[in-house]
């Protein structure tokens, strides 16, 4: 026989980081989705540079890469990603949105790792670890923002908007 709850029972607790109220900022959701897409584009640009940009086997790649439009787009997009990642983190702090704060911290760490590794690689093109760290940083950032999108609760038709 099922028992009825007594008047003294407490309702189940909800993680405040994953509540609809804390994660429904349309601006942060849109920026998070844009970051995933831009990071995927940046990854593809990096792979394209690997195929078509001729860099010396060792030494600085700045002079050899300075005439490449593909590398220029890759670098400009990298700077834009750093700025956008910091902007999302600031917006998450101002909006007190723990979900996007955590996602943006992981994203900023990944993007800064990739950006710094890119600078190190262009300074010494034989540094294969730096090349690998660019890809790892990009993967960390994609995972961070994708997790931020994943943790947004699905709103049903019946729930208030």
Residue pLDDT, tens place only, 93-113: 999 999 999 999 999 999 999
The yes-or-no verdict on residue 42 having pLDDT over 80 is yes
How confident is the prediction for the chain on average, in pLDDT?
84
Find all residues with CB under 8 Å of 157, minimum gap 6, and list them.
none
Whether the Cβ atoms of residue 111 and residue 82 lie closer than 8 Å to each other: yes
User: What integer pLDDT is reported at residue 156 of this predicted model?
Assistant: 47
Find all residues with CB under 8 Å of 12, minimum gap 6, and list them.
none
The yes-or-no verdict on residue 12 having pLDDT over 70 is no
pLDDT band, residue 5 (cuts 50/70/90)? low
Between 60 and 110, the more confident residue is 110
Query: What crossing angle do the helices spanning 98-123 and 128-150 adopt, rounded to 10°?
Result: 170
User: What integer pLDDT is reported at residue 20 of this predicted model?
Assistant: 44
Q: What is the mean pLDDT of residues 53-73?
A: 82
Would you list the domain boundaries of the chain?
24-51+68-150
Question: Containing H/E element for 32?
Answer: helix 26-52
Residue 20 backbone class (left: φ over 0; alpha: ψ -120 to 50; beta: rest): alpha
The yes-or-no verdict on residue 16 having pLDDT over 60 is no
Residue pLDDT, tens place only, 127-157: 899 999 999 999 999 999 999 999 876 654 5
d(CA 104, CA 122): 26
User: What integer pLDDT is reported at residue 37 of this predicted model?
Assistant: 97
């Amino acid at each position: 026989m099922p028992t009825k709850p007594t008047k003294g029972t407490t309702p189940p607790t909800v993680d405040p980081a994953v509540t609809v109220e804390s994660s429904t900022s349309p601006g942060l959701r849109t920026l998070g989705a844009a970051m995933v897409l831009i990071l995927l584009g940046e990854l593809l640009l990096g792979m394209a540079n690997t195929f078509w940009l001729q860099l010396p086997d060792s030494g600085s790649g700045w002079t050899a890469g300075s005439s490449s439009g593909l590398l220029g787009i890759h670098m400009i997009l990298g700077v834009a990603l750093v700025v956008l990642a910091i902007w999302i983190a600031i917006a998450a702090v101002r909006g007190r949105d723990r979900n996007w704060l955590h996602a943006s911290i992981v994203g900023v760490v990944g993007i800064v790792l990739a950006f710094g590794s890119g600078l190190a690689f262009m300074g010494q093109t034989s540094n294969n670890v730096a090349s690998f760290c660019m890809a790892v940083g990009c993967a960390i950032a994609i995972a961070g923002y994708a997790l931020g999108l994943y943790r947004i609760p699905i709103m049903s038709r019946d729930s208030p908007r």
